[in-house]
Structure 1
Amino acid sequence: MATPAFAQASDDAARAGDEIVVIGVTKQDANIQETPIAITAFSGDKLEAQGIKKVDEIATFTPGFNIRGSGNNPTALTLAMRGQVQNDNIATLEPSVGTYIDEMYIARAYGLNTELVDIENVQVLKGPQGTLFGRNTSAGAVLIKTADPRYNEYSGRISATYGRFDERTGQAVINLGLSDSVAVRGALYYQKRDGYKTDINTGAKYEGRETINGRVKLGFRPVDNLEVILSGEWYDTKIDGPIRHNLFFNAPAAFGPFKPILDGLAASERAAFGDNANLAALTPPSAVAGADPRGAFNNTKTQTYMAKFILDTSFGQVRWINGYRGIQSDNLIDLDGSSVVGHFTAGTQDLKQYSSELQLTGTAFEDRLNYAAGITYFRETGFDQSRSNLFGATLAATNPLVPPEFVGATDWSNFSGTLDNDSYGMYAQLNYELTDALSITGGLRYSIDDRRLTTQSGNTPNNGDVFVFCSPVETPVPCLRRSQASFTNLSYTAGIDYDLTDDVMVYAKHSKGYRSGALQLRTLTLADSIPSQPEIVYEQEVGIKTSFLNGRGTFNIAGYHNKVKGAQRTPVLAPNGLSQTVIENADTETWGVEADASIEVADGFTLFASGALTDPKYTRYEGAGISGDFGSQVIVPVDKTDYRFIGIVKKQYSLGASYKKDLGSVGVDANVIYAWQGKMPQIDIPPELFASTDIGGLGLTPDQAAQVAAVANSGSLGILNARVAVAFGPERNFELALWGKNLTGDQEQQYTLLLSNIYVGTSYNEPRSYGVTASFKF
């Protein structure tokens, strides 16, 4: 519920925050305080004021929600909400939290962590949203709405920013309302920033980035009741990194006399890091044949095109929403985070999605009935590849499958897949006012997912295109395996809400959500290639939404309980040093509470706060572990019911204040917000298994077990953002703003990878940054 910006019905209430029209329970515009679901909403102005500039920062100020950068691509995100999480980014795995941009579903997280440019609002819907928004919203949905063209209006904004790390940002927005029937809106964003991480061995800087993002929208009204909106958006980012930070290193005993040398080198580098998260060590790409000579890098591009047709009729509004999104991404990551020739991973993605939704919304029976119904089609094609080399391994002469000409070449393992997916959906949802105070809501959606995958798993010399043998070995070269599966589901929601007074609403709802099943992309055996069945969620939520002091204050609270059947987990295992991803199956149960409050204590001066408690547990977890000594290890079943939830934060809160006042010659707009989250598990294995030699245990020495235990959780994280802006000029169209992000300088682990008992590598949130922005509006 935690609502930093509140939409209110009255003029007095509107002063308490930005007035945001949110998606209602039937996809029609609604007041957030009158909508019987938990929603967090940010207007575009509020995003700027609170220092929320990228998609991943939305969760920092949304209690009950957590976003981490992916381990395999910094532009990709893993989203967690209400005890549910997608803990890996592979094109065959679906999220639990769905993301929509301008009503189009974004299937893959690659390229999702973009800058928020010319945004009208962002809405975070909590809990299963499967009836209105479909599959893969079993935990919730994030709706990002960019600004539409405005008719009969010529306006725009130009801004320039200079900040820490030599950040140079320019942004321009222009709206050309050519008439009452034609309008064009364009936005252009450019940023270049130096790196802030330093290689202790070379002094090189990493994590610098250069981004360009552009969008054009055309609005056209050929007749009074029809609007057509065409749009195109282009995003291109280049990153010097990501650079990971080594926290633990344990070379396999098979290295013999070289083991203490490798372990000692990693340990000396960790000592040099000290407590500085911005020091790192990187393996030079020249150390491993086939590694991209650029070293650690990420280049990601997306292209998004949409066509919307909006027709107003006597029986409601018809919307036909069509979209295309293409993703091209390449990267190289030194996953172990040390200069030891440890674990290089190279990734390539080339993915395309097409979607169409025909939607009808409207009212009947003197507006007592609100309804939404529609049909959807989604298609996805493309390619996702990951290649890795561990410890500079070479192709051995003792392997009879290796041709003589490739003996001694660097051995790269390949996992790639060509996707061909189709999804269909039909839905309807109704909200009916039984009385002026009592309403009921009910909805159904039927989903069909047809998924096809051709994988290619095997080993290539020097990261080339020739496969010398396959995984599993019984697969003939060129190592192609085909799989397909179909999944169906009927999702539903049922709710009731009652207005105790004009200012107090209580509600309760029960819903079922659906996360599609998955095909296996990175497996080494045929037994591990069985498709994962869908993840099904049943959730109950009760809440109260209140306003007081004539709308100057609000207080909302919601409690929920959910059970997940077939939760998908995707650990990385490395039997005999060959890393692979295995999809596991679990059942979970989560209890939680979310609350927010806001009060305008004086004209223009508002205090706000929010918080959340989340308590998840496994009730069943059929996992996988490694058994045997190095060289003869196999993957075997393991009961992981006692394991911990990676990426789930149990305790969160935020506190903030805003002040906006016209002082005569100038206008002042100040905002400060502090967001805190408690410790977060980064390693799911219980600490008692670190030294265990049983199946599933790591078999570490007591000293090694203590080292891993010390980094198994990220510490509590407190982020302080502040912004003070002064507007001047005859129409207050000039603005000068000083801003700071993460002013506390707190940096904690964000995405930590434990690869068997070999190493622990991590990434951190960004350090303190600050700067000045000058803007001109017209």
Structure 2
Amino acid sequence: MTGKTALALALSTSLASIVQPAFASEDRAATETGTSLDIVVTATRREQKLQDVPIAVTAISAEQFVASNYKDPSELQYLSPSVQVSSSGGAGFNVRGVGTNSFNAATEQTVGLVVDGIVYGFVNDLGADMSDVSRVEILRGPQGTQFGKNASAGVINITTERPSTDRTYSVLHASYGSYDDTNASYRVNVPVTDTLAVMGVASYQNRDGWAWNPVRQENAGDRDQVGLKGKLKWAPTVDFDIFASVDYRRSYSSPAFLSSYRRLGIGSGTVPPGFGILDYGIEPGPNNTETGLASDSYQINRVGGGTFEANYHFGNYTLTALTGYRMLGRDAFATLGSTPITAAEGPVRVRSDQFSQELRLSSSGGQFIDFTSGLYYYHRSSKEVSMFAGDFGGLAELLHGPGALLSFSGGRDYLSYSVDSIAGFIDGTVNVSDDLKLILGGRLTRDKASSSLYTVEVEGVYPLTGMVSGPGSAKTANTDFSWRAGLQYNFTPNVMAYFTAARGYKGPLAIAVAGSSARIVDPETVKSLEAGIKTTWLNGNLLFNLTAFREKFRNFQTSVPDTTLLPPGFALGNAGGMKTQGIEVEFSVKPTPGLTLIANGTYQDAKYTDFLSACYSEYEPIQPPVTDDPNVVGACYTVPGTGLSYIQAKGSPAPNASKWNLALAASFEQPIGEDLAVDATANYTYRSDFYTNGVDPNTRVDGRGIVNVNLGVGAQDDTWRVGVFARNLFDKYYVSGIELGGFDEGSLVNVLDLEARRTLGVVLDTRF
């Protein structure tokens, strides 16, 4: 899934509750208390004012999503300067320049995605139905002491709207724009009794592609999604309540991976450079938006599950039992890049199940010791079946007869993975005085992981030499203690400073690589230092926050280019070390009741401190220097007597990590007469250049700045609103990444982004 530049409201910590039409959430009090910029979050698993929480957290309200026509969590990168999304090598969140991107189903994300308290552990799936979102909290830095499994770089914590017994109501949102860009959702809340309420949610999203495919004579890049949810809330007494939900979502994209040729390589054997794209008039280059894909490539995800939460309140404490089940079915037909050659293509099928159980005890706050503690269990299993086959210039038929195909993984590969994790945790604050607080937290985790791989021969499919995957398996286990400690001091009721040190952890992995073997990926750890100051001025109408951070990772789990695979691709491995450090600034002011101005920015310097990576191709425009000294940094070294070569990438930038990120926004609302109001929002987001593969200078992606606007008129009581919007107003073209082409050595491809074209549209919201 590629990142999208939708209407970037670019509102971070200071703007979770700006004046916007309130069609997204019935309970606005959950995010607004007191003043217009006063925000309540649950970053510590207890409700607290955001300005009082000693954590770098960005709060994003439901109103922002609705007004901007955002569709899925991947677009959170346009709401917080510290969040980015990788779109090559597998989709994944990056926080402060750190994230994991991998297609391997055994992978765990470095930035956790949590929805209604449940960890979403499936790799390469950042999707979730956001049509009923209540609020989003982006917690930056290690969060493993509280938030489930593997949060060594941060957590995306999403809370959806819950049923209410107050009254019956319905909410409808519908928008339509360029390229059939459609976003529609409907939800209805029904009180059944004074203590029981139910809610139903339905949604539909669509986006047609604009990349032209002259081989198939059609546009490429279509996306669509449908979703259903059912929810129940029962509170028979003031001390006991239950929340339950079930959901199902189906998403479709074609092709499975949208790309275009940026540069021709040297070809392969009898196959010319570009595999025949020149025959269709395709001109490779940075601005090439034509794909030469001949196959019917697609990806279908079917995702669903259920959540059950029971809360018992007694005295100053709450006991919570939280059970979650998730499933994913992925059917895809992958192919060789964006070429007319039907080689290295075939079906991929993934089936995954996940179960988690958490038992949590929390204090209500305001005591000498405020805490959250609990036990956590997590299990995830996946099975994958894949087969990549094809032919180059009739070689298979020449060797094996008519109809024969070459296999690039030895036949049909069967891969399976399993992860089990159990943990105990406690995190809290010791209120030494009204102004001085001691922060302490710890988590003891035991992880187990296993994988297996075997290949079945397929009639008529013949493997290349050395490509048969023999039966193999791998197992690993590890016990680790992660912690957090710090101090918080309130200089005044409106000025708070804090300092924390933390150790984060991400468990080991046992992965299987088709066409290769089963292997172990070591656990990842991080030591983090963070200092911040949060200030409130002008009776809550001006906020200014400043955060400095430094994080050092050991055995960082990352996608490593593996040229031994056919076609060449990525396999998950370890970098010896990685470091990120920087400063985050958040500023918002409400000079008049109807006007809000925002300026948020992040400087982050994320780079490897130790990483033996594969050398990039000598046929690329920028060629790697060569050395006979294994200690030289930045040069390709070949081990004498072997074909093994590597490059020490110390000092190379982390992938997908822009150093400078800026978000500016202005929002205005003005009543017209007694019943109507007009609103307008203008936003600018900027991201400096970055590298898809930090080791390879040929994968440098230019920075970009995007402007978005939104205008509307509606009822002052929020019963209806109509508006117009423009995403990417000035039609700024950009690519999401630059990758190496498969087989065509020295070639480069553009990873295309559907939001790299202007989208104009209209929107309607009603509440009744």
**Structure-2-length-normalised TM-score:** 0.87
CA pair 602-345 structure 1, distance change in 2 beyond 3 A: farther
1:105 aligns with 2:105: no
Q: C-alpha displacement at 1:41, in angstroms?
A: 0.8
Residues 188-227 of structure 1: CA distance to partner in whole angstroms, max 9, x if unpaired? Answer: 1113343322113443022223321111101112332111
**1:279 shift after superposition:** 2.7
Q: 1:744 aligns with which of 707, 711, 730?
A: 730
Structure 1 residue 334, shift from structure 2 partner: 3.6
The one of 761, 764, 767 aligned to 2:752: 764
Give the residue type in structure 1 aligned to 2:433. Answer: T
Against the structure 1 CA distance between its residues 569 and 246, is the aligned structure 2 distance closer, same or farther, given a 3 Å change threshold?
Answer: same
- Residues 350 and 517 of structure 1: CA distance in aligned 2, closer, same or farther (over 3 Å): same
Say if 2:405 is the partner of 1:409. Answer: yes
Deviations along 1:430-451, whole A, 9 cap, x unmatched? 2011111111110000111111
Matched, 1:655 2:643: no
The equivalent residue for 2:65 is 47
Q: 1:680 aligns with which of 690, 693, 702?
A: 690
TM-aligned CA distance change 1:12 to 1:382, over 3 Å: closer
Offset, 1:599:
0.1
1:725 aligned to 2:717? no
In the TM superposition, residue 522 of structure 1 has moved relative to its aligned partner by: 1.1
1: CA distance between counterparts of 2:242 and 2:31? 32
- What is the CA–CA distance in structure 1 between the aligned matches of 2:566 and 2:541, rounded to whole Å? 61
The equivalent of 1:499 in structure 2 is 490
Moved more, 122-131 or 240-249: 240-249
Counterpart amino acid of residue 671 in structure 1: T
Answering whether residue 54 of structure 2 is matched by residue 36 of structure 1, we say: yes
**Equivalent residue number for residue 691 of structure 1:** none
Whole-angstrom distance in 2 between the partners of 1:137 and 1:380: 16
Residue 486 (structure 1) aligned with residue 477 (structure 2): yes
Q: Does 1:250 align with 2:265?
A: yes
Q: Kindly provide the amino acid, as one letter, of the partner of residue 754 in structure 1.
A: L
1:382 and 1:420 in contact (8 A); partners too: yes
* 2:537 maps to amino acid: F
Q: What are structure 1's unaligned runs of at least 5 residues?
A: 286-294, 688-708
- Give, in angstroms, the shift of residue 500 of structure 1: 1.1
Show CA shifts across 1:219-269 (max 9, x none): 11233211111101110122222421111232455x1xx35x344844576
Superposition deviation, residue 340 in structure 1: 4.1
Task: State the partner residue of 1:508.
Answer: 499
Structure 2 equivalent of residue 145 of structure 1 = 159
Matched residue SS, 2:146: helix
Summarize the alignment of residues 528-547 of structure 1 with structure 2, pairs less than 5 Å apart: 529-547=518-536
- Match for 1:23: what amino acid? T
| Aligned-partner Cα distance in 2 for 1:130–1:623 | 28
Deviations 1:670-689 (A, max 9, x none): 222111100011233344xx
Deviation at 1:482, TM superposition (A): 1.7
- Residues 450-461 of structure 1 mapped to structure 2, 5 A cutoff: 450-457=448-455, 460=458
Closer, same or farther: CA 647–633 of 1 in aligned 2, 3 Å? farther
SS of the counterpart of 1:94?
Answer: coil
Displacement of 1:384 in angstroms is: 2.8
- The 2-side partners of 1:327 and 1:243 are apart by 22
> Which of 83, 86, 107 is 1:65 aligned to?
83
Contact 1:214–1:233 (CA under 8 A) maintained in structure 2: yes
Contact residue 210 and residue 221 of structure 2 kept, 8 A: yes
Report if the CA contact (8 A) 2:17-2:31 is conserved: no
Q: Are the structure 2 counterparts of residues 210 and 545 from structure 1 closer, same or farther at C-alpha, using a change threshold of 3 Å?
A: same
Partner of 1:438: 436
Q: What is the RMSD of the two structures over their aligned residues, measured on CA atoms?
A: 3.1
Specify whether residues 162 and 578 from structure 1 end up closer, same or farther in structure 2 by C-alpha distance, changes over 3 A only: closer
Change (3 A) 1:459 1:86: farther
1:373–1:744 distance in 2 versus 1, CA, 3 Å: same
**TM-score scaled by structure 1?**
0.86
**Equivalence for 1:614:** 604
Task: Give yes or no for contact 2:43–2:139 (8 Å, CA) kept in 1.
Answer: no
1:236-275 equivalence runs, <5 A: 236-241=250-255, 242-252=257-267, 255=269, 258-259=270-271, 261-263=272-274, 265-266=276-277, 272=283
Taking a change above 3 Å as real, the CA distance of residues 384 and 154 of structure 1, as seen in their structure-2 partners, is: same
Q: Report the equivalent of 1:331.
A: 332
Once the two structures are overlaid, the 10-residue window that deviates more, 181-190 or 157-166, is 157-166
Aligned residues of 1:349 and 1:384 also touching (Cα < 8 A): yes
Q: Within 2, Cα distance between the matches of 1:576 and 1:505?
A: 53
- In structure 2, the residue matched to 1:86 is 100
Give the AA of the match of 1:244: S
Question: Helix, strand or coil for the counterpart of 1:33?
Answer: helix
The corresponding residue for 2:422 is: 424
Which is worse superposed, 329-338 or 530-539? 329-338
Partner of 2:622: none
Contact 1:7 1:21 (C-alpha < 8 Å) held by counterparts: no
Amino acid at match of 1:764: L
- Stretch moving more, 317-326 or 272-281: 272-281
Deviation at 1:654, TM superposition (A): 0.4
User: Residue 49 of structure 1: SS of its match in structure 2?
Assistant: helix
Runs of 4+ in 1 over 6 A off after TM superposition: 7-13, 404-407, 467-472, 626-629
Partner SS state of residue 410, structure 1: strand
Structure 2 unmatched ranges of 5 or more: 1-10, 19-28, 617-635
Q: Which secondary structure state, in structure 2, belongs to the residue aligned with residue 45 of structure 1?
A: helix
Render the CA deviation track for 1:49-104: whole Å, top value 9, x for unaligned: 344332111012211211123546xxxx2111223221323121211100001000
Q: Compare 453-462 and 344-353 and name the one that shifted more.
A: 453-462
Amino acid in the other structure paired with 1:572:
P
How far did 1:508 drift? 0.4
Query: Do 2:274 and 2:339's aligned partners in 1 also have CA atoms closer than 8 Å?
Result: no
- The aligned residue for residue 621 of structure 2 is none
SS at match of 1:540: strand
Question: What is the CA distance between 1:644 and its match in structure 2?
Answer: 3.4
1:219 is aligned to 233
Residue 762 of structure 1: how far off its partner (Å):
2.8
- Aligned-partner Cα distance in 1 for 2:331–2:392: 21
Farther-moved stretch of structure 1 (755-764 vs 4-13): 4-13
1:55 and 1:202 map into 2 onto residues whose CA distance is 32
User: What is the alpha-carbon distance in structure 1 between the residues aligned to residue 718 and residue 440 of structure 2?
Assistant: 47
Q: Tell me the SS of whatever aligns to 1:47.
A: helix
**Take 1:735 and 1:137, find their aligned partners in 2: how far apart are those partners?**
39
Equivalent residues of 1:455, 1:482 under 8 A apart: yes
What secondary structure is seen at the aligned counterpart in 1 of 2:658? coil
How far off its partner does 1:386 sit?
4.4
Task: Report how many aligned residue pairs link the two structures.
Answer: 718
AA in 1 matched with 2:265: N
CA distance in structure 2 between the partners assigned to 1:497 and 1:441 by the alignment: 7
326-335 or 756-765: which moved more? 756-765
How far is 1:738 from its partner? 1.0
In structure 2, what is the equivalent of residue 369 of structure 1? 369
Q: Say whether residues 1:556 and 2:545 are aligned partners.
A: yes
Separation of aligned partners in 1, 2:558 and 2:43: 32
